[in-house]
Structure 1
Amino acid sequence: MSELETTPHVRSVVGVSGSPTRPSRTTALIAEVAETYATILGATATIIELAPLLGQLGQGPFRSDIGPDARAALEVVEQADLIVVGSPAYRATYTGLFKLFFDHVGQYALIDKPIVLTATGGSDRHALLVEHQMRPLFGFFQSLTLPLGIFASENDFVDYRVASDELRSRIDLTVRRTLPLLAAHRQLDARAEAATPEFARPDAF
């Protein structure tokens, strides 16, 4: 089967960087991954940095309380066809900013949404952040977390840009190995949508 036959119809790839700083290695990693997907899929890549949205996200406990830019970012993520998420490791988990943003995402907005998990850290000892912290979070959202996560350490960057050929190879491998999964997911999702009564669909609640 050719790559063309296994390429899903994806219009938008959205990256979400949970780094509280700019510039950011996490943002650089997410941009590299999102743009690689977008290039192969013929999609548009959009990168959302949460650092500038911190003040708006902290304006209140409810989505109606937060600022307009933060609400717009949430809507972009919820409408994306494919999401690349990432956070730097901080105290053995993702940042509070990352969690705060996804606390405002609609509970049913990411059901079956393909999610690519990435993370960065000072050394490889933080690599399990992807599996032990990030994957369970998106399990709550009932998202389709793709099986190959991507972790990068400080040594993979120069001047906040991806500089490691080994990391680029892992990104390329992750992207290409998930294309058939994305294609199968889109086909199954379309069939399930057609066969599911309207009252039983998640957005009916």
Structure 2
Amino acid sequence: MATAVKTVQASSLVVFASPTFKATYTGLLKLFLDQFAGGTGLRDVVAVPLMLGAGPAHAMAPDLTLKPVLSELGGTCALPGLYLIDSTFTEDGVVRDYATRWEPVVGALTRLR
């Protein structure tokens, strides 16, 4: 666990991903995030909240549940969260479109580091 935490803290960009569980992220991700100090644990990390779900009902979950936690831990959460439908995300181009759209912002933010 300590190695994973150090790897995240040394990274410029980290995608924090979780399946949707009861309209929020999983307890396993929560246990991992608990390893980071509040306010400073993700300092200098551009954090992207990503969640997978079965349908569009929880499309706001990355921004409403995961993004505030990443921000509270000191992550730079300048990008909108990404919600993917688990049965189609490899086929519908959403990830590619998201990466293309936000690549300039990520580049600018990581250069500031």
TM-score, normalisation: structure 1: 0.50
Q: Find the counterpart in structure 2 of residue 109 from structure 1.
A: 41
Q: Percent identity?
A: 26
Number of aligned residues: 112
Q: Find the counterpart in structure 2 of residue 123 from structure 1.
A: 55
Q: Verify: 1:173 aligned to 2:94, yes or no.
A: no
1:155: Cα distance to partner? Answer: 2.5
Q: Which of 112, 121, 143 is 2:75 aligned to?
A: 143
Structure 1 or 2: larger helix share? Answer: 1
Which amino acid in 2 is paired with 1:80? S
Cα distance in 1 for residues equivalent to 2:28 and 2:99: 27
Q: Which runs of 4+ in 1 moved over 6 A?
A: none
Pairing of 1:18-33 with structure 2 (within 5 A):
none
Query: Helix, strand or coil: the match of 1:97?
Result: helix
Pairing of 1:1-205 with structure 2 (within 5 A):
70-107=1-38, 108-156=40-88, 162=90, 164=91, 166=92, 169-189=93-113
Q: Find the counterpart in structure 2 of residue 18 from structure 1.
A: none
CA contact (8 A) 2:12 2:44 kept: no
Would the alpha carbon gap of residues 174 and 146 (structure 1) be closer, same or farther in structure 2, given more than 3 Å must change?
Answer: farther
Higher alpha-carbon Rg:
1
**Deviations 1:57-87 (CA, angstroms, capped at 9, x unpaired):** xxxxxxxxxxxxx221111111112101111
Which amino acid in 1 is paired with 2:58? H
CA contact (8 A) 1:118 1:149 kept: yes
CA contact (8 A) 2:9 2:43 kept: no
CA contact (8 A) 1:81 1:114 kept: yes
The root-mean-square deviation of aligned C-alpha atoms, in Å, is: 1.8
1:147: Cα distance to partner? Answer: 2.1
CA contact (8 A) 1:85 1:116 kept: yes
**Deviations 1:125-150 (CA, angstroms, capped at 9, x unpaired):** 02111111011111202311242322
Give structure 2 stretches of 5+ with no counterpart: none
TM-score, normalisation: structure 2: 0.85
Which of 1 and 2 has higher RCO (CA within 8 Å, sep 6+)? 2
